[in-house]
A = this chain, B = another copy of it.
C-alpha cells in the first residue's frame, strides 16, 4: 500500500536540488508543524548525510540502500520504508526507473 497523496500540507515552492539534479525534492510542512519532503532519485549511486533521523517511504520505483558501517545493500520499493539514524550517512543506488519517496523526519 503506497501513500499516493499527502493532504493539508504547505509546500515550499523552491525545490531542493542535490547532486546536479540526480535527487530533487520539495519540502512540506503539515498542519501540526511536522516537516516532510517528497522527492525522486534518478538512476545513480548517491551518498546522503542525515541530521535528524529519517524514515524513507517508497511511493514508486525501488532503490537499494546501504547504511554507514554496513556491508549490505538492501532493496526497498514502493510501499516499503526504511529508517536511517541521525547524524550519519547512507548510500542509495537506483537503476532503471526513478525511485520516488516521502522522507519523514525525526
Contact = CB atoms under 8 A, between A and B. Distances in A.
Contacts of A24: 15, 21, 24, 40
Nearest to A2: B13
Given A7-B10, A9-B10, A10-B6, A15 B40 contact: yes
A60 interface: yes
A102 B5 contact: no
A26 interface: yes
A8 interface: yes
B8 A14 contact: no
A13 B6 contact: yes
Interface of A: 2-15, 17, 20-22, 24, 26, 28-29, 38-40, 42, 59-60, 98, 100, 102
